[in-house]
Structure 1
Amino acid sequence: MSTASATAPSGNDPTDPTALSDDLLVALDGPIARITLNRPGKLNTMTPTMGKQLLDLVDEINVDDDIRVVILSGTGARAFSAGSDISVLDGYGSNWQLRNRVDYARAIWAIRKPVIAKIRGYCIGGGLEMALMSDIRYSDVTGRFGAGEIKLGWHGGAGNTQLLPRVVSPGKAMEMLFTGDLVDATEAHRNGLVDRLTEPEDLDAAVDDLATRIAASAPIATQLSKHLVRVAQSTSLDVGLAYENDMFTYCFTTADAAEGRTAFAEKRTPDFQGR
């Protein structure tokens, strides 16, 4: 996967700089892939084209062993993302076509590597769903969170009703879902929606530090840990514990596990290769 800065679309490879629109940017920084929603004048709202490009990009990220962690953010200080661009919603066609649309939030869910959402400003509607689909959410104090679809006559269709009550309390989730009101970053942090709260000038460094530390971990164990946490959210404890033990047994046979034991004995930092 090559580093990409977006220009006019002309190809089929989403990692090719000529294949992405200006609205979606991807850049590689060693083992870190940085995905940036780049419509600051529109609060980084998503279009169907952006959704399709994001889905293609996710496929590339999943098979690129050099990428170990993903940072998702929006351009500018006003918004992480305000979700779908309302002006294009009528273009989805029939109800059936809307049901079968490319779901940009589920694209984030499909990333196998750890995903950190870096949030400034508005994180609402589909933007909140993308943040919820991420594994870890860091926000500065300007963050504003809301499931505002109810104010327009519908509810979220890509995770707000399902993921929000798994992250915050069911009561807090329903308060947000029923009213569409915004929650500031301090309250979001208190309720568990934000995992770390920073001042605006400290957010980039905090996210980069976390991404760097995750990237240094054993990739197979990291991705399996992500998978097992999701299993824990949808199965019984007995089944989850048994499955965890099976995955642990597999992990223990990898070259990375052997490297970890050797590095521990030699009192050095392990060099994990994802094998």
Structure 2
Amino acid sequence: MADGRIRFEQDGNVGVLTLDRPAKLNAATRSMSAELLELIPRIDADRSIRAVVVTGAGERAFSVGTDVGELDRYDGPWDFRNRRDYCDALRSLRTPVIAAVNGYAYGGGLELALSCDIRIAASTATFAAAEIKLGWIGGGGVTALLAGSVPASDAALLLLTGDPIDAAEALRIGLVSKVVATGELLPTATELAHRIASRPPVAAATAKANLRAARSMGLEAAIQYERELQAVALGTQDAAEGRAAFAERRPGHFEGR
């Protein structure tokens, strides 16, 4: 499809979202954004999906962000500013999300990866906040998300030059958690997703919510919020099952209740 699509597949308790426009390096179109915006609430509403992997079709690119040609389809900068953004959609997921970065993660593609909770990269992956080379900056959260993910000097280097870094450098600065061979990327990401999916879903969702809150709260407020979320998790049937399983020395069977 010329406008691309978002492909969604489910493997047990793991969902896999694939940006499927490889001929255009998985550049996102308005129709792809609309598909993602429609999919996200359905994923969160499906209790059988407990973790999600996001990747790009083909081996060349994760995504190079918004198709530059799409910018002319907006009525102007204000219309573009008020768009429903694909990065916002991904960040709204309560379900844990892993980015499997299989090539270029440029511009909005970098923002898309940063919008995920965990990032794993193929050894051939490269990352760039490339918008500055075209006369603007990213608007999908790149500055705030980079500032919370890598040292200040490395964030500034990426944002002010627009130059790419390779997977090894991304690992060194903490932009990604792991680098693997290209052929091992999706198996590694899905294995991790299945491991997360085996955890009690409410506990996983509260852990994710607490991590996000901790980035925007002061220390004391963040600790208090953590205790509130802990109380929520402790009141679930899954927590009772976890205690019973621990006492009986058996695996727990968690249902998200």
- Fold conserved (TM > 0.5)? yes
Partner Cα distance (1:226, 1:72) in 2: 17
Partner of 2:142 in structure 1?
Answer: 160
Alignment partners' CA distance in 2, 1:82 and 1:200: 18
Residues matched between the structures, number: 257
Verify the 8 A CA contact 1:36 1:75 in the aligned structure 2. Answer: yes
Separation in 2, partners of 1:87, 1:95:
14
3-state DSSP of counterpart to 2:148: helix
- Aligned residue type for 1:23: R
Match of 1:210 in 2: 192
Trace 1:54-133 onto structure 2 (pairs within 5 A): 54-133=36-115
Letter in 2 for 1:118: A
- Offset of residue 182 of structure 1: 0.3
* TM superposition shift of 1:199: 1.3
Write out per-residue CA displacement over residues 42-81 of structure 1, whole angstroms, 9 at most, x where no aligned residue.
0000001111110110011111111100100000100000
Residue of structure 1 equivalent to 2:26: 44
Q: Aligned partners of 2:227, 2:148: CA distance in 1, in Å? A: 24
Q: Please give the alpha-carbon distance, in whole angstroms, between the structure 1 residues aligned to 2:18 and 2:185.
A: 15
Q: More relative contact order in 1 or in 2 (CA 8 Å, sep 6+)?
A: 2
**What are the Cα deviations for residues 6-63 of structure 1, in whole angstroms up to 9, with x where unaligned?**
x99xxxxxxxxxxxx8521011111111100000000000001111110110011111
AA aligned opposite 1:111? L
1:238-260 per-residue CA deviation (whole Å, 9 max, x = no partner) reads: 01111111211221111000100
Instruction: Give the whole-Å Cα distance in 2 for the aligned partners of 1:161 and 1:244.
Output: 25
TM-score scaled by length of structure 1 = 0.91
**Deviation by residue 1:129-149 (Cα, 9 ceiling, x = unmatched):** 000000000001101000000
Q: Matches of 2:8 and 2:121 in 1, distance apart?
A: 20
Contact persistence 2:104–2:127 (CA under 8 A): yes
- The answer to whether the 8 A contact 1:80-1:119 is kept is yes
| Structure 1 unaligned regions, length at least 5 | 1-6, 9-20
Aligned sequence identity (%) = 44
